[in-house]
Amino acid sequence: MTGIAVFDLDGTLVDTAPDLAASLNHCLAAACMAPMPLDVVRPHAGHGAKVMLREAYRRDGRDIDEAEMRDQVTRFIAYYQDHIADQSRLFPGVLDSMNRLEAAGMRLAVCTNKYERLAGLLLNALAVADRFAAICGADTFARRKPDPLHLNETIALAGGRSDLSVMVGDTVTDIDTAVAAGVPSVLVDFGYAPDAAARARASVIIEDYASLDISLVERLVADAGKVTRTKP
Q: Which residues are catalytic?
A: 8
Rg (Cα) of the chain, in Å, rounded?
A: 17
Residue 194 and residue 188 in contact, taking contact as beta carbons nearer than 8 Å: yes
Q: What is the Cα–Cα distance from 137 to 118, expressed in whole angstroms?
A: 9
Per the DSSP assignment, residues forming a β-bridge with 110 are: 7, 135
Find the DSSP H helices in the chain.
17-30, 38-41, 49-59, 66-82, 94-103, 116-125, 148-157, 172-181, 196-201, 214-222
Q: What is the Cα–Cα distance from 202 to 169, expressed in whole angstroms?
A: 9
Q: What is the Cα–Cα distance from 178 to 154, expressed in whole angstroms?
A: 12
